[in-house]
């Protein structure tokens, strides 16, 4: 159990009136301002953390958990027809019942969990005992797990209220949510565009303020790329930081449960709640979980050079061919901003960078071909009755899995086959070691590395659906981090595009188990960036 959040002094100064969001406006023009000015502005601005402001509302009794829950449910209902983030929404009565319990706890003066009254969306490939969990696949249509994932259980223990299960590319395989067996989620910034993926539903839901924070999963960038596309904060923790128990496995050695929030503080709070060793996951780490939140520099005591001494490496290979010019500009601007904040910014090189993508696709598909074997129609999920065992397997899987999943199972099966194993799987493992080594060297030189989270901003729905290679190429910015098992944080850093601007995320990569530093740097970056609210225009549709 993470400790309850401390630090009320800052919060009281930032306490605000009921409406959780500013009136509709977004900042397409981005400009930076000095940290001092930012600090001054912060004192007057609304909270920089949705979770902390909910907590303050509850503790100061200015607002009841039931009211907060109702607002979110209402906004979810209004936005859902356009955004389609959710595959399943919790029963209203159930949500309100849990909110009432929070209110009663407040009245009785009991101590509140760090996520008390916080509405959380959970990616549908993470098991929840009280809601269906399909992994976005028809093969698990209507499947209800017998247990909560460890991360979900920890959320509940922290007082969170689950509001629903969010859409994704089937079993996490895809970058757009177009690979979902059920529906395509729209990007709240432009509903004709994809929200990214595979955790597109979780990113869109936070972006559209349908929930406060959400859980996603990141195997090759599935938290970071949609965070970038949807203009929210996304964190992919170190491999083993968060238990994978209850996460439907895609590629076990790469999978990590990650979090989305509308601010760095929120994502730090939720990661704090779900991190830590779990005896049900042999790959979960016993490494101590620091209190990420109290470690964040409050804007009050932010000096003029809050990042003084932080060495930042801009990964050279991520700012070249295949990356949109506007993206490169945004990242360079962000680098300058970090420099202004006192960081020492230099160029870093990862020579094996380009090898990561093919290695990733071999390892991920190999593991997935094995992990998805359990969906055979025998014990649960879709079964096509047949007289012969082979056709029962064949037809159940043929009708249950979507095209992308089938393609990856075929690729992975091929890569693991006798005679090909050495040329593909084994070689990819060797590349993985190379990638790990080059990250190690770069992170010995620098505290953090930065890069874009994706080579472009959100693209149109349908744009890459028939060109899987182009879609795979979009993962180039993120897959290396999974191969190395490192933590990475994506913070919105700007916009691209003319009349309909789209958000761009800055990816910060840290050393293993150094999430705390990523949060500190991200927080300072976010707080000093004019336009850090990143609220999408489609909020107008939901009446905000």
Partner 1 sequence: MAAVGAAVYFRGLRFKNFCFFPSSPHRWGSRSLLFRSGSNAASLTSISASGAQSAQTQTRAPAERPQTQTRKNAEESSQGYESVIGIETHVQLSTVTKAFCACEYSYGSPPNTTVCPVCMGLPGALPVLNTKVVEFAVKLGLALNCKLSLTSKFDRKQYFYPDLPKGYQISQFDVPIATRGFIDLDLPLEFGGGHRRFGITRVHMEEDAGKLLHSESGSYSQVDLNRAGVPLLEIVSEPDMRTGIEAAEYAAELQRLVRYLGVSNGNMQEGSLRCDVNVSVRPIGQSEFGTKVEVKNMNSFSAMSRAIDFEICRQVTLHKQGQGDQIVQETRLWDDGSQRTVTMRKKEGLADYRYFPEPDLPEVVLSSEYVEAIRASLPELPEAKRRRYEQMGLGMQDVLFLANDVAVAHFFDSAVDSGADVKMAANWIMGDIAAFLKSERLSIGEIKLTPRELAELISSIKGGTISGKMGKEILVELITKGGTVKSLITEKDLVQIVDPAAIEALVEKVIAENPKQLQQYRGGKTKLQGFFAGQVMKESKGKANPALLNKILLEKLNAESS
Give the binding site for partner 1 (CB under 8 A).
126-127, 133, 135, 140, 143, 145-147, 149, 244-249, 251-253, 279-283, 366-367, 369-370, 372-376, 378-380, 389, 393, 413, 416-418, 421, 425
If the CB atoms of residues 329 and 413 are measured against partner 1, the closer one turns out to be 413
For the CB of residue 418, give the shortest distance to partner 1 in the complex, in Å.
Answer: 5
If the CB atoms of residues 373 and 399 are measured against partner 1, the closer one turns out to be 373
Query: Which among 306, 313, 302, 303 has a CA at the least distance from the CA of 344?
Result: 313
Is 57 an active-site residue? no
Query: Which among 189, 195, 206 has a CA at the least distance from the CA of 169?
Result: 195
If the CB atoms of residues 244 and 527 are measured against partner 1, the closer one turns out to be 244
For the CB of residue 349, give the shortest distance to partner 1 in the complex, in Å.
Answer: 29
Six token digits for residue 420? 């090909």
CA 372 to chain centre: 23
Annotated active-site residue in 53, 180, 198, 202: 198
Annotated active-site residue in 222, 228, 352, 451: 222
Burial class (CB within 10 angstroms; exposed 0-12, middle 13-18, buried 19+) of 17? exposed
CA distance 224 to 450: 13
For the CB of residue 382, give the shortest distance to partner 1 in the complex, in Å.
Answer: 13
If the CB atoms of residues 17 and 282 are measured against partner 1, the closer one turns out to be 282
DSSP category for residue 504: E
For the CB of residue 433, give the shortest distance to partner 1 in the complex, in Å.
Answer: 13
Dihedrals φ, ψ of 459, to 5°?
A: -105, 175
Annotated active-site residue in 123, 165, 236, 464: 123
Specify the residue for token string 């247990």. Answer: 147
Query: Which among 19, 201, 196, 163 has a CA at the least distance from the CA of 77?
Result: 163
Specify the residue for token string 């953390």. Answer: 49
SS3 for 275-328 is: ECCCCCCCCCCCCCCCCCCCCCCCHHHCCCCCCCCCEEEEEHHHCCCCCCHHHH
If the CB atoms of residues 290 and 394 are measured against partner 1, the closer one turns out to be 394
For the CB of residue 222, give the shortest distance to partner 1 in the complex, in Å.
Answer: 16
| 53 neighbors 47 (Cβ within 8 angstroms) | yes
Query: Which among 178, 224, 186 has a CA at the least distance from the CA of 476?
Result: 224
For the CB of residue 485, give the shortest distance to partner 1 in the complex, in Å.
Answer: 12
If the CB atoms of residues 354 and 383 are measured against partner 1, the closer one turns out to be 383
Query: Which are the catalytic amino acids?
Result: 123, 198, 222
């Amino acid at each position: 159990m993470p400790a309850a959040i401390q630090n009320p002094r800052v919060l009281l100064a930032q306490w605000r009136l009921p409406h959780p969001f500013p009136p509709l406006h977004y900042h397409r023009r981005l400009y930076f301002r000095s940290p001092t000015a930012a600090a001054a502005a912060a004192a007057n601005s609304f909270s920089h953390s949705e979770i902390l402001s909910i907590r303050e509302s509850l503790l100061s009794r200015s607002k009841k958990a039931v009211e907060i829950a109702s607002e979110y449910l209402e906004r979810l209902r209004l936005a859902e027809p356009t955004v389609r983030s959710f595959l399943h929404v919790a029963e209203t009565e159930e949500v309100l019942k849990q909110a009432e319990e929070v209110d009663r706890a407040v009245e009785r003066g009991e101590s509140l969990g760090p996520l008390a009254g916080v509405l959380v969306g959970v990616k549908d490939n993470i098991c929840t005992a009280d809601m269906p969990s399909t992994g976005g696949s028809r093969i698990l249509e209507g499947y209800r797990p017998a247990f909560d994932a460890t991360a979900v259980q920890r959320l509940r223990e922290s007082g969170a209220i689950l509001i629903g299960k969010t859409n994704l590319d089937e079993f996490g395989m895809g970058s757009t949510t177009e690979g979902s067996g059920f529906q395509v989620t729209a990007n709240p910034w432009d509903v004709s565009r994809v929200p990214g993926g595979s955790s597109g539903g979780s990113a869109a839901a936070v972006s559209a303020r349908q929930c406060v924070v959400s859980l996603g999963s990141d195997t090759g960038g599935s938290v970071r790329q949609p965070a970038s596309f949807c203009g929210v904060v996304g964190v992919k923790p170190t491999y083993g930081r968060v238990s994978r128990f209850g996460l439907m496995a895609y590629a076990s050695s790469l999978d990590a449960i990650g979090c989305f929030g509308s601010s760095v503080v929120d994502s730090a709070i939720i990661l704090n709640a779900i991190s830590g060793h779990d005896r049900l996951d042999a790959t979960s780490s016993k490494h101590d979980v620091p209190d990420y939140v109290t470690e964040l520099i409050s804007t009050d005591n932010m000096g003029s050079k809050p990042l003084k001494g932080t060495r930042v490496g801009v990964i050279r290979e991520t700012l070249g061919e295949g990356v949109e010019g506007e993206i490169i500009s945004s990242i360079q601007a962000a680098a300058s901003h970090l420099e202004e904040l006192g960081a020492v910014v230099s160029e870093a090189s990862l020579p094996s960078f380009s090898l990561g993508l093919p290695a990733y696709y071999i390892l991920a598909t190999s593991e997935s071909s094995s992990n998805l074997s359990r969906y055979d129609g025998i014990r649960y999920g879709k079964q096509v009755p047949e007289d012969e065992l082979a056709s029962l397997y064949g037809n159940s899987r043929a009708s249950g899995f979507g095209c992308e999943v089938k393609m990856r199972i075929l690729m992975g099966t091929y890569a693991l086959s006798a005679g090909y194993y050495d040329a593909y799987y084994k070689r990819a493992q060797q590349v993985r070691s190379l990638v790990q080594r080059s990250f190690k060297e770069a992170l010995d030189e620098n505290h953090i590395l930065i890069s874009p989270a994706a080579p472009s901003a959100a693209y149109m729905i349908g744009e890459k659906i028939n060109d899987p290679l182009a879609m795979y190429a979009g993962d180039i910015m993120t897959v290396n981090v999974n191969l190395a098992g490192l933590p990475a944080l994506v913070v919105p850093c700007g916009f691209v595009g003319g009349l309909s601007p789209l958000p761009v995320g800055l990816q910060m990569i840290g050393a293993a188990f150094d999430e705390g530093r990523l949060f500190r740097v991200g927080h300072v970056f976010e707080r000093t960036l004019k336009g850090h609210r990143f609220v999408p225009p489609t909020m107008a549709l939901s009446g905000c």
